[in-house]
């Protein structure tokens, strides 16, 4: 081999080595560092208080359903029900307490639809997610506005709370969106069955016990809301005047926020 050929082989070998090193660096997570630098730190959440939902603490001192408006109505039904599970955040910017949509597993969202299946005047149950909600946090009125945008005149906002004694539970408020008036308030305790915990030192056992108790509390919340709606239907009278049909036959099966183009069209239509 000539000297020139040997030098060329060395250069090619170095080039291949650097190429392999660069590829290995990429697969080892070399791109992860810029993502960490650019990502925003997660906001700390805190317990949801009744005032965050637009209701007083006195209205939910005891567990159960607490009607806030028992007047008879005309033309409230049929209508849609929007459901928003929220978490509270406290901002250092002086903006005070704000709400953000919380996580709700798909199966639990489906349960909200299922529990209303036997109540025809509730034409649909829609879960309010991030669409139309400022990610920096909002007040409860933003959820009411979004509920109005999707033609749901009833809006349930609820979240996990904690009282002064440290007891956990769920607190919720059912709103009449058009009147901007709360109709009912709810409080459900989260009771962990300590007898079901096999090993109190095992975090998996503790997590399972908590998840079971929290799921039971949400089931109780759904049943309370269902009973409230049956009562509201009994106190409602059909409007005898000609009204635009509240029924919607063009909804897709997929959740609403999976079709952002349709939402954009509706927003533009409202502005016109």
Count CB atoms within 10 A of the CB of residue 176: 19
Structural domain count of the chain: 1
Q: What Cα–Cα distance (Å) separates residue 123 from each residue in 22, 66, 83, 88?
A: 57, 24, 14, 30
Other Cβ atoms less than 10 A from the Cβ of 122: the count is 23
pTM above 0.75, yes or no: no
pLDDT of the residue at 144: 97
**Structural domain boundaries enclosing 183:** 45-237
* Residue 193 belongs to a domain: yes
Is the residue at 1 inside a domain? no
Residue 219 has pLDDT above 90, yes or no: yes
pLDDT of residue 261: 65
The per-residue pLDDT for range 102-152, each reduced to its tens digit, is 988 888 888 998 888 899 999 999 999 888 899 889 999 999 999 999 999
* Cα distance between residue 84 and residue 55, in whole Å: 16
Q: Residue 244 domain-assigned?
A: no
Q: Of the ranges 4-8, 188-192, 266-270, which is most confident?
A: 188-192
Give domain status of residue 167, yes or no.
yes
**How confident is the model over 213-231, as a mean pLDDT?**
96
Domain annotation covers residue 100: yes
> Sorting pLDDT into bands at 50, 70 and 90, what band is 226?
very high
**35 within some domain:** no
Quote the pLDDT of residue 272.
61
Sequence-ordered alpha helix ranges (H) in 28-156: 32-38, 106-115, 140-149
**CB 39: neighbour CB atoms within 10 A?**
8
In a domain, 264, yes or no: no
Please indicate, yes or no, if residue 3 is contained in any of the structural domains. no
């Amino acid at each position: 081999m000539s000297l020139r050929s040997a030098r060329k082989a060395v250069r090619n070998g170095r080039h291949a080595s650097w190429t392999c090193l660069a590829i290995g660096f990429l697969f080892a997570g070399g791109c992860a560092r810029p993502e960490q630098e650019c990502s925003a730190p997660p906001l700390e959440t805190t317990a949801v208080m009744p005032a965050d939902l637009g209701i007083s603490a006195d209205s939910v001192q005891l567990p159960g359903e607490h009607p806030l408006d028992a007047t008879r109505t005309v033309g409230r039904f049929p209508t849609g029900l929007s459901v928003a599970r929220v978490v509270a955040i406290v901002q250092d910017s002086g903006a005070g307490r704000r709400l953000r949509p919380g996580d709700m597993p798909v199966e639990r969202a489906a349960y909200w639809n299922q529990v209303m299946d036997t109540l025809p005047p509730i034409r649909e149950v829609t879960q309010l997610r991030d669409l139309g909600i400022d990610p920096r946090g909002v007040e409860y009125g933003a959820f009411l506005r979004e509920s109005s945008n999707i033609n749901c005149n009833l809006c349930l906002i609820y979240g996990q709370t904690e009282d002064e004694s440290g007891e956990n539970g769920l607190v919720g408020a059912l709103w009449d969106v058009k009147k901007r008036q709360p109709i009912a308030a709810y409080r459900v305790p989260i009771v962990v069955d300590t007898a079901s915990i096999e090993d109190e030192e095992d975090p998996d056992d503790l997590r399972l016990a908590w998840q079971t108790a929290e799921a039971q509390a949400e089931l109780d919340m759904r049943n309370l809301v269902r009973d409230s709606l049956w009562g509201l239907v009994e106190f409602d009278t059909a409007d005898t005047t000609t009204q635009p049909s509240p029924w919607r036959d063009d909804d897709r099966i997929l959740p609403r926020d999976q079709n952002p183009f349709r939402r954009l069209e509706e927003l533009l239509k409202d502005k016109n």
